[in-house]
A and B are shown apart, each in its own frame.
Chain A
Amino acid sequence: MDNDAEALISQQETTENLRRKGGYFIISGILYGFPDADSTSEIGIGGITIEISGKFKSQNIISGVNGEFSSDLFPSGEYTFSVHDPYGKYFQKSFKIKLLQDIYFPVFVSFLGKRRRKNFLRLREAYKYRIAGSVLTRTKKPISGVEISIKSIHIDSNLFSKLISKISLFPKREKDEKKTISIKLISDHLGTFFSGDLPNGSYILKCTDSNGKYKFSSKFIVLKGILPHIVFTGYDSSDLEELKKKLEERKEEAPKETQPTQERTEEKEVTNKPKTEGDGKESIEKAAPQTGQEKQREELNNIVSSEITETPEKTSFGQQIPKMPKEEAPPSISLSIRTPAPKTSDFQATPIKISETAAVPKIEIPVIRNAPIINIINPPTSPANAFSNTVMKGSSSMFNSGLKATGNGLNKAIDTANTGIRGAKFFFTAARTIAMAGTNPGIWIAAGIGILLFLLFFFFDGGGGFSLPEAKVARGNNMGGGGGAPPSGGPPSSALVSCPVVGGTISTHSFKADPGNGHCSISYGACDPNSRRAKSIDVPTGGENIILPTIQGQTANWTYVNHFQLQVTDCENPVNNSCGNELVFVNNIDNTHNWTLFIAHIGFTGMTPGQTYPSGTIVGSSAIDHVHISIGKDVPDPTSMPAGSTDLRSGWMAADAEAGMCGYTAIPPGGICPIGSLYCSPAYLNTFFNDPVVAQKASIICQRESGSDPGVINKNCGTNDYSVGLFQINLVAHCPGAYGAGAWGPQSCDNLLSLEKRNACEAQLLDPVENIKKAVEIYNSWGSFKPWSTAAACNIQ
C-alpha cells in the first residue's frame, strides 16, 4: 500500500509539475493572528477577505475557518496581495508578489492600530538559522500533529556556526562538530513547524504521520545553507483513491506510449537517479561538472525550485555529503518548496552552501508587516528577471519606515523605488546620472534641475519622503466632498460605531445605559423606552466638527438621504432661535441590510443630499452645544424620519450601551450574561454569523450553553433533551429520523427510532465547526435566537 501510495503521489506531483511548467500557479497560505488582545497563542483567522489583483487576473478569496486560503490558477506575473477584514479588527498592509511559482505563505494579521512587542521579536528571529515550514493537505488545509524529523548530515565548522553554537541551543557542537543533530518537531494547529536555532550545515527533513492518516511524498531533503519555507503535502486515503482513479482514467484515455514527452523525460530523470547506499559515510559521486557563477546561479535555482529531486552528491565546494542509509534514501523526492521555479527543466537539487556573496543580483523587500512570508527568488538567468528577485520578510520596522531595501548600490535603490514610491525611480535614475556626470557641468546642472523638479513634484503632490503612501491615503479622504475631512473617523476602538465627535463623551446617555437620567427617563421627560429617542445619546461638540463615523473600525460609505429643520422647542438651549437640522445618513450594505445614522442639531453642512460620503467626512458643525445621535442596524425604510419619540422601528440600538459610541464601553446585547471565549468568542463566531452584533449574541448563548466545550452532551430526557456541543443542538428536534412521537409530542426523547442516525448526528455536531454551522442554520431559519432558552435568560432579542 505504501508503495502504491508513493507511486500515486509521485504521479500527482509530476502532474503538478507540468501545470507549473505551463505557467499557472496557485497562491495559498494561512492568515493567523491573536484571537484577542490578551491572548498569547495565535490562531488561524477566518472570514478575512484576501484580494489578489493583477494585470491578468484578480480574485477575492475569503480565508477559511482555520485561516487557510487558496487561489485559483493564476498566470505568472505581478500581483498585489491585500487583506481586508470586514469587521475591521485585523490589518495587514498590502504587498506585491511576483508570481513565478506556486506560493504558500503564512501571513500574520495584526490588530488594527495596535502593535505587539512580539512582532519585533519575530523580526529578530527571522535572521537566525532555522528551518520552518508547513504541513498541509492537498486542499491547503493545515495538518497538525504530524512529526517532522530533522537530522543533520553535516555540521559546518566555520566561524559563523561556532559563533551560533555559542549563543544557540547547541553549545556542545563546538566541541564535537560532527555529532549528529536530530530533532523531532510536531506540526502545530496551523500545520506549521519551526526548528529553533540550528548550526549551519546540511539537514534531512522527513515528515511522517504516526496515525497513518496522511502519506507524504517527501521522504527526505538535504538542505544546505539555505532554509526556505518548506511545505509538506499530506495525502489521506481519499486523496489517494482520487489520485488512483484519475490515474486509471488517464491511462484509459491516453495509452502510455502517447504520454507527453516532457512527462516521460521527467520520469526518466527521476528513475535514473543514482540510488544511494551505505551507512552515510560513503562518498557520493559528483554530478556533471559545472563551473563559475553560472553554476552557482543554477544551483541556487535548483535549491529553490518547487519540486526538488534530491540526489545526494558532492557539493560544488568540495564537501561531500554522506549518503543516506538505504531505507532513507529513495530514488527521488518531490518536496514542495513554494518558491519560483527555474525556467530550466533541470529539477535536480544539489545540496550546496550559498555563500553571502552568492550571485543573487538583487533582492527587493516589499512592505509587509509582521508577516512571516515566503521566499521568492527569480531565476537570475534572464536579464528581465534580474530586477525582480524578491525576498519578502515580515518586518515591523519595514512597515514603520514604509520601505527598506537591501543590497548594493544604486541598482538596489532603483529596485526599491519600484515597490511603490511614486517618482522615486525618477530620483534614483537622476542620482545615477549625477554619479556618472563626473566633471561635466552641463550634466550637473541638468541633474540638479531634475532633482529640484522631483522635490517640487513631491512637495506639491503632498508627499513627504519615504512614508508617502500612508500620507497620501489619509489625504485621499479629504477628497470626500463635504469639505475638508480629517483622515478618519477617530481612532479605532472596540466600539461598533465610532463617535462622530472626535474624542467626544456623552452628556446624556440612552435610556438603556442610564434609566435614571438618560433619554426618555422620567427626569429627561418620559417617552417610550423603545423609541429611537430613548436609544439616542447627546454628545457635546466643544466647537469641533462633526464627522461621519466608522463601523467596526472600517470606513463606511454614508449616503445623505434626508434632513429637516428642528423646531426651536426641540432643544433646551437654542442659539439664535435655532436648534439646527437633523440629518439622516444610510450605509446600505445590501437591499435589506443597512446602518442608519441620525445626527441632530447640525447648524451648517456643506453636504449635498443624495451624495455618498466616506467615514471621516465632515458633516458640519453643531448649531448648539451638542449633537443628538441615533444609530440603527437594518432599520426598515431608513430614509423616512418620524419623530424620535414615536419612531419605534426595529433596529435602533442604544448608541452607547449597544453600539459603544463615544467612549461608552458597550455592554453585551442582552447585557446580563458574559460574552464567550475560545470557540464561543465573538471573533471566532464572526466567521460564521456574518454580523458582529449577531455574533456577539451568539457568543453569549454559546458560552452559557456549553462553556465553550465542544464535547458537552446533555442527555436529560426529563427535559426532552439530547443536546450536543457548543450550541447544545438538541438532536431530538434536529436529527431527522432519529426520534419519533412520544410523551413530549411528535419528537420525543423517549422514542428513539434510529440509534444509528442519532449517533451520526451526534458525531457530526460534536465537531465545533459543524455545531456552529448548525446554530447558524437554526438562527437563520428563525431569524432570532429564540430556540435557545438562554436567549430569554440573557434578554437576547
Chain B
Amino acid sequence: MKKTLMFVFATITIFILIFFVFCFLSGIKKTNNRNLIPFPTSIQLSPLPPKVQDRINISGVEVKDFTKNPGRIDSQKDVFITEGEEYRISYLAPFNHFKITIIKSPFEEIRQKAEQDFLKRLEITKEEACRLNVSESTPSFVDPSLAGKSFPLSFCSPN
C-alpha cells in the first residue's frame, strides 16, 4: 500500500514536472538571448541616416539637406525652408512632416507655385515627393472657405 501510494505520487509529480518544464522551456525558447550582455534595443525613431553630400534621407527619400542654411529653426527643431509672401514651406521635425502653407489667394495658383518650389528646393522628383509626408493648408485669414482643411500634393495620387 505504501509503495503504491509512493508510486502514484511519484508519477503525478513527474507528469506535473514535465508539464511545467515544457511550459517553461517553450517560453524561454522564443526569447533565448545568445548574448548574456545587456544590449540596447533598437530605437528606430525616424533617425536621419548618414548625410551623403549635402543630402539627407527623410522617409526613405534622399533630399537636399535643407537643414543647412535654413531660413529659421525653432525650438522644436522645425526648419522653415522658405517663408515668402505667397507661401511658406517648413519641415515640422517632431512629426517628420513637410508643411506647405498658402498665405495668399488664389489658393490653386499659389499652390502650384509652392509645389514647384518645394521640388526645386529639395531637388526631388514628383514621385519622390509623393513618398514624403507633405500636407498643404491655408489659414482662415487667407481663405476661410479652405481654412482647416489639409490637402496632399496636387500631383500625388490619392492612394
- The reply to whether the CB of B35 lies closer than 8 angstroms to some CB of chain A is yes
Question: Known contacts A365-B31, A372-B40, A391-B39; is A41 also within 8 Å of B141 by CB?
Answer: no
Question: Known contacts A678-B99, A793-B140; is A766 also within 8 Å of B74 by CB?
Answer: yes
- Sample (20) of A-B pairs whose CB atoms are under 8 Å apart: A41-B95, A106-B43, A106-B45, A128-B42, A133-B40, A185-B47, A185-B48, A189-B76, A189-B96, A228-B40, A229-B40, A371-B41, A376-B38, A407-B36, A434-B13, A706-B139, A707-B148, A709-B90, A719-B141, A794-B148
Q: Across the interface, do A375 and B38 meet the contact criterion of CB distance under 8 Å?
A: yes
- The reply to whether the CB of A427 lies closer than 8 angstroms to some CB of chain B is yes
Q: Across the interface, do B23 and A707 meet the contact criterion of CB distance under 8 Å?
A: no
Q: Which residue of B lies closest to A794 (CB)?
A: B148
For chain A, residues 170 to 198, give those with C-beta under 8 angstroms from any C-beta of chain B: 183-190, 192-194, 196
Q: Encode A749-774 as 1/0 by CB contact (under 8 A) with B.
A: 00000000000000000111100000
For chain A, residues 440 to 457, give those with C-beta under 8 angstroms from any C-beta of chain B: 441, 444-445, 447-449, 451-452, 455
Q: Across the interface, do B77 and A145 meet the contact criterion of CB distance under 8 Å?
A: yes
- The reply to whether the CB of B158 lies closer than 8 angstroms to some CB of chain A is no
Q: Across the interface, do B94 and A66 meet the contact criterion of CB distance under 8 Å?
A: yes
Docked Cα-Cα span, A12 to B135, in Å, equals 45
- When the two chains form the complex, which single residue of B23, B99, B135 contacts A466, counting CB atoms closer than 8 Å? B23
- When the two chains form the complex, which single residue of B24, B34, B150 contacts A707, counting CB atoms closer than 8 Å? B150
Question: Shortest beta-carbon distance, B68 to chain A, in Å?
Answer: 9
Q: Encode A426-447 as 1/0 by CB contact (under 8 A) with B.
A: 0100010010000001001101
**What are the residues of chain B within 8 A of A106 when measuring CB–CB?**
43, 45
- The reply to whether the CB of B28 lies closer than 8 angstroms to some CB of chain A is yes
Q: Across the interface, do A404 and B20 meet the contact criterion of CB distance under 8 Å?
A: no
Interface pick from B4-12, B108-116, B120-128: B4-12
Q: Encode A215-231 as 1/0 by CB contact (under 8 A) with B.
A: 00000000001111100
Question: Shortest beta-carbon distance, B14 to chain A, in Å?
Answer: 9
Q: Across the interface, do A395 and B31 meet the contact criterion of CB distance under 8 Å?
A: yes
- The reply to whether the CB of B16 lies closer than 8 angstroms to some CB of chain A is yes
Q: Which residues of B contact A (CB under 8 A)?
A: 5-6, 9-10, 12-13, 16-17, 20-21, 23-24, 27-28, 30-51, 56, 59, 67, 72, 74-78, 80, 83, 88, 90, 92-97, 99, 101, 103, 133, 135, 137-141, 144, 147-150
Question: Shortest beta-carbon distance, A447 to chain B, in Å?
Answer: 6
Q: Across the interface, do B27 and A356 meet the contact criterion of CB distance under 8 Å?
A: no
Docked Cα-Cα span, A541 to B103, in Å, equals 52
- The reply to whether the CB of A354 lies closer than 8 angstroms to some CB of chain B is yes
Question: Shortest beta-carbon distance, B40 to chain A, in Å?
Answer: 4
Q: Encode A198-228 as 1/0 by CB contact (under 8 A) with B.
A: 0000000000000000000000000001111
Docked Cα-Cα span, A226 to B40, in Å, equals 9
Q: Which residue of B lies closest to A455 (CB)?
A: B16
Question: Known contacts A194-B47, A465-B23; is A406 also within 8 Å of B76 by CB?
Answer: no
**What are the residues of chain B within 8 A of A723 when measuring CB–CB?**
141
Residue total for A at the interface (Cβ-Cβ under 8 A): 114
**What are the residues of chain A within 8 A of B37 when measuring CB–CB?**
225-226, 300, 354, 358, 360
Q: Across the interface, do B95 and A678 meet the contact criterion of CB distance under 8 Å?
A: yes
Docked Cα-Cα span, A714 to B79, in Å, equals 20
Q: Across the interface, do A356 and B36 meet the contact criterion of CB distance under 8 Å?
A: yes
Q: Across the interface, do B31 and A188 meet the contact criterion of CB distance under 8 Å?
A: no
**What are the residues of chain B within 8 A of A320 when measuring CB–CB?**
none
Q: With A404-B31, A676-B148, A711-B101 given, can you name 16 additional A-B contacts, CB distance below 8 Å? A: A41-B97, A42-B46, A126-B39, A127-B35, A186-B47, A187-B47, A192-B43, A194-B42, A413-B24, A445-B10, A448-B16, A677-B135, A704-B147, A710-B76, A711-B78, A723-B141
Docked Cα-Cα span, A356 to B34, in Å, equals 7
**What are the residues of chain A within 8 A of B97 when measuring CB–CB?**
41, 678
- From B6, B12, B140, residue with most partner A Cβ within 10 Å: B140
Question: Shortest beta-carbon distance, B60 to chain A, in Å?
Answer: 10
- The reply to whether the CB of A588 lies closer than 8 angstroms to some CB of chain B is no
Q: Across the interface, do A707 and B139 meet the contact criterion of CB distance under 8 Å?
A: yes
- From A427, A448, A707, residue with most partner B Cβ within 10 Å: A707
Nearest 10 interchain pairs by C-beta: A375-B38, A707-B137, A372-B41, A448-B13, A41-B96, A125-B42, A704-B148, A126-B41, A448-B9, A229-B40
**What are the residues of chain B within 8 A of A441 when measuring CB–CB?**
6, 10
Question: Shortest beta-carbon distance, A463 to chain B, in Å?
Answer: 14
**What are the residues of chain A within 8 A of B56 when measuring CB–CB?**
186
Question: Shortest beta-carbon distance, A103 to chain B, in Å?
Answer: 12
Q: Which residue of B lies closest to A393 (CB)?
A: B41
Q: Across the interface, do B133 and A728 meet the contact criterion of CB distance under 8 Å?
A: no
**What are the residues of chain A within 8 A of B80 when measuring CB–CB?**
711
Q: Across the interface, do B77 and A125 meet the contact criterion of CB distance under 8 Å?
A: no
Docked Cα-Cα span, A183 to B51, in Å, equals 9
Q: Across the interface, do A132 and B40 meet the contact criterion of CB distance under 8 Å?
A: yes
Q: Across the interface, do B48 and A186 meet the contact criterion of CB distance under 8 Å?
A: yes
Question: Shortest beta-carbon distance, B159 to chain A, in Å?
Answer: 14
